Structure 1
Amino acid sequence: MAPHKLCMIPGPIEVHEDVLQAMSTPATAHVDPKFVPIFGESIELVRKVVLTETAQPFIVSGSCTLGWDMMVNILEQGDEVLALNTGYFGDHFSECLEIYGAKITTLRAEVGSRPTNEALKEALKEKKYKMVTVTHVDTSTGVLSDIKSIAQTVKSISPETLVIVDGVCSVGSEEIRFDAWGLDVVISGSQKGLGVPPGLSVVVVSQQALDVFKNRTSPVVAYYSNWKKWLPIMQAYESRKPAYFATPAVQLIYALHTSLKLITSEPMEVRFEKHREVSAKFRQTIRDLGLKPLAQTEESSANGMTAVWLPEGIEVPQLVPALAGKGVQIAGGILTGLAGKYFRIGHMGISVMEPERHHIDKVVEVLSESLKELGYKA
């Protein structure tokens, strides 16, 4: 790959050369006999990434946010939703669901923390919820939610309640065991842990959630995101048959297929552990520099990104350009009211799985240099 500024934000992430090459496929019809099995196998490979045998993946052209909109398929007017909130994206997921008629009850934690299991239990005993939503990794804070424990608690108290996971910044970098943990929906997209340029919404849906969709009593108030349109398409391509509702992003699906083949070429456990190892080492480096992550504990720290409080006297408009000038792109904060007080760095995908690229080493080097040049003394 030609020398370029490293994209080390929490997504989009650096993309493997083979994935970029796959995107250079010439103009190809979405019903081409060579493309149909590529799309079909991509659907199957998504299952392997989230460790499910029976769930239904949807791969649809659009941003990750389209996955939020797809929840219109299982929501009806007035449905009660319990939202576990760990930051900016939890707020906006709830905003999306309210548009489709959901009545939201929010369990919110202080910045850098997550709602407790005890608070979840109490909330579940107070009323019946159609679904519980949780952001697995809120990209605004780098807080990791314990979706295994959340799902166990929800299903033990209310088996009918659906567990909806915003996995945009977790699929491909965090441990997700869809079947074993009893998850119902995982929402993601192409540009983070799956290591593909932006443009694909990837949503995985349990049979329980599909039954809720099929047995709803009112029409789905959406057209493009309607599973009645998309389910036959996914089933057709997986059966290696062409079908049409809206034109898929052919070149992006070629890229996704290539990346999924790379990801699943070794057990997912290897990928989970490598991200845990690299992120723990990176956070320790941050502490050694005298800085402090937003996530308050190791257990609540994401493995694909880290948000870091800025030291006294240094501002985002100073630090971000300083690193960019040395060939590394990082991100400022986005949490309402605190955006200017911290910065964010991504560490997922090939930057983690292929250490010979020295992406993380480069980040540490230029971050240390830039802080020093800006007058910071650890």
Structure 2
Amino acid sequence: MSGFKQEPHKLLVIPGPIEVADEVLYANAHPSVSHMSAEFIQVIGDCIRMTREVLFSTTGQPFLIAGSGTLGWDQVAANLTEPGDSVLLLNSGYFGDSFTECLLAYGAEVDEVRADFGTAADLNDVEKALKAKKYKIVAFTHVDTSTSVLSDAKAIAETVNRVSPETLVVVDGVCSVGSEEILFDQWGLDVVLTASQKGLATPPGLSILIASPKAIKVFEERTRPPASYYASWKKWLPVMKSYESGIPAYFATPPVNLIYAYHASLTQLTKARPSLQERFALHRKASQRIKDELASIGLKQLPLDPYYAANGMTAVYFPDGLKAPDVIPRLLKKNVVVAGGLHKSNKDKYFRIGHMGITIVNEERGDVDKIITAVKESISEALAEAESKKA
């Protein structure tokens, strides 16, 4: 890969897809190989093993399937619920709404603990719900990308495992894996689902999920076949086990080149410096700096409590009188790409910045400085123009 550099481009700092390293992009351009070849089976087997390392698990079963992060919801609903099963969904934003919709599509009965805008679900409410009714699953979005609210996965899992130990703890980690600490085995999690294009710093297109032995047992003891063909673990579990043991297997063609890219990224995450824990610390440090700098010009965060603010992204309100068209095009002219609001009730009032992966880890790039400078200048210019129009 000697000398390979990606072409100059606008700095992509939406909350995913994110910037990817040259090595990862180069790996995505790997010459085509057979998905049944010994070479590829070794690479995907390594990916399965390294996925466990990223989530600090020794016993979890990874699933690497072509698809977006949304496919993870279908895997949970199709394989771990049957019609009439009760699920408690802790809803902290747009993606909580969508997860509920997916579960309902498969016939689950969903109760919600809904958090107020900018907050996470109250653990006291969770405990009350668990004591009042038996739930097969408690599910929540670790970082809801629509609000930047970070739920306390460790505390939620502790509550569920203490009050209702039979209940599965399911985490939508699409916007948290790789940028937030997740100790799968130690915290007693049962499923973490994610995708390639955020903290795992790989191009989009790979649905990544890890399931505990407890979750696999629930799947194996279900009374009827999974209500999906493509998302069925009945199809994928033997394939994943074969891949890891070095034996070719087939159900559907994996995204071969994307697996090579994922392998390159996982190698950086698990086999090189900074270590995973050092990466988490770098994300916390950069996140705090960005949030402090934006607060210094009067921009208010969506999360009401800093404890529940994500480390891989920031969501802030526009100043009074400004909206997305006043600010985001100015950022584009400065070669910085951010995302507008997403939550239905407030989407015109705020914008979102992703700060994950090499944007944080490779400090020599100066991405954080570029983000801060571009936002400050764009806000200042937009406010000045608004004032001139008033005059």
How far the C-alpha of 1:80 sits from its partner, in A, is 0.5
Q: Secondary structure at the match of 1:321?
A: helix
Which amino acid is 1:214 matched to? E
Counterpart check, 1:281 vs 2:286: no
Q: Aligned AA for 1:185?
A: V
1:120-269 matched pairs, under 5 angstroms: 120-264=126-270, 265-266=272-273, 267-269=275-277
Counterpart CA distance in 2 for 1:360 and 1:289 is 16
Q: Once the 2 structures are TM-superposed, how far is the Cα of residue 34 of structure 1 from its aligned partner?
A: 1.2
- Cα separation, 1, equivalents of 2:297 and 2:257: 42
Equivalent residues in 2 for 1:20-99, closer than 5 Å: 20-71=25-76, 72-99=78-105
Q: Note the alpha carbon deviations across 1:202-238, whole angstroms, 9 max, x for none.
A: 0000000000000001121110000010001111110
Match of 1:326 among 311, 329, 334: 334
Identity over aligned residues, as a percent? 51
| TM-score, with length taken from structure 1 | 0.98
| Aligned 8 A contact 2:93 2:147 in 1 | yes
**1:310 equivalent in alignment to 2:318:** yes
| Map of 1:8 onto structure 2 | 13
For the 8 Å contact 2:141–2:173, the answer to whether it is kept is yes
Residue deviations 1:226-275 (CA, integer Å, cap 9, x gap)? 00100011111101111110000000000000000001124321111111
Provide the rounded CA distance (Å) in 1 between the counterparts of 2:301 and 2:251. 45
- Residues 318-357 of structure 1: pairs in structure 2 closer than 5 A: 318-357=326-365
For the residue of structure 2 that corresponds to 1:340, the secondary structure is: coil
Q: Counterparts of 1:235 and 1:354 in 2: how far apart (Å)?
A: 35
* TM-score, scaled relative to structure 2: 0.95
**Per-residue deviation, 1:117:** 1.3
Q: Shift of residue 198 of structure 1?
A: 0.5
State the shift of 1:35 in Å: 1.1
Distance 1:94 1:316 in 2: 29
Q: Cα deviations across residues 2-37 of structure 1 (Å, max 9, x unaligned)?
A: 211011000000000000000111111101221110
Letter in 2 for 1:67: G
Give distance in 2, aligned partners of 1:357 and 1:123.
Answer: 47
Greater CA drift, 367-376 or 244-253: 367-376
Alignment match of 2:107 (pick from 74, 81, 101) = 101
Deviation at 1:337, TM superposition (A): 2.1
Aligned-residue RMSD, C-alpha = 0.9
In the alignment, which of 113, 130, 136 is matched to residue 119 of structure 2?
113
Cα-to-partner distance string for 1:270-305 (whole Å, 9 max, x where unaligned): 111111111111111111111101011121000000
User: Structure 2: any 5+ residue segments left out of the alignment?
Assistant: 1-5, 387-391
Aligned partners of 1:222 and 1:111: how far apart in 2?
33
Q: Distance in 1 between matches of 2:330 and 2:119?
A: 30
Q: Aligned partners of 2:154 and 2:112: how far apart in 1? A: 19
Aligned to 1:295: 303
Q: Distance in 1 between matches of 2:91 and 2:300?
A: 22
Query: Partners of 2:259 and 2:121 in 1: how far apart?
Result: 37
The SS at the match of 1:293 is: coil
CA distance in 1, matches of 2:43, 2:79: 27
Structure 1 unaligned blocks of 5 or more: none
Distance in 2 separating the partners of 1:364 and 1:286:
7
Write the distance in 2 (CA, Å) between the matches of 1:368 and 1:64.
32
Instruction: Work out whether residues 42 and 246 of structure 2, in 8 Å CA contact, stay in contact via their aligned partners in 1.
Output: yes
For residues 2 and 358 of structure 1, the distance between their equivalents in structure 2, rounded to whole angstroms, comes to 17
- Partner-residue secondary structure (3-state), 1:237: helix
Report the number of matched residues: 377
Matched, 1:18 2:23: yes
1:81 is paired with a residue whose SS is: strand
Task: Report the Cα distance in structure 2 between the residues aligned to 1:278 and 1:323, rounded to whole angstroms.
Answer: 20
Deviation at 1:318, TM superposition (A): 2.0
Distance 2:116 2:138 in 1: 19
Q: Distance in 2 between matches of 1:321 and 1:224?
A: 40
By how many angstroms is 1:154 displaced? 0.3
Q: Would you identify which runs of 4 or more consecutive aligned residues in structure 1 move more than 4 Å? A: none
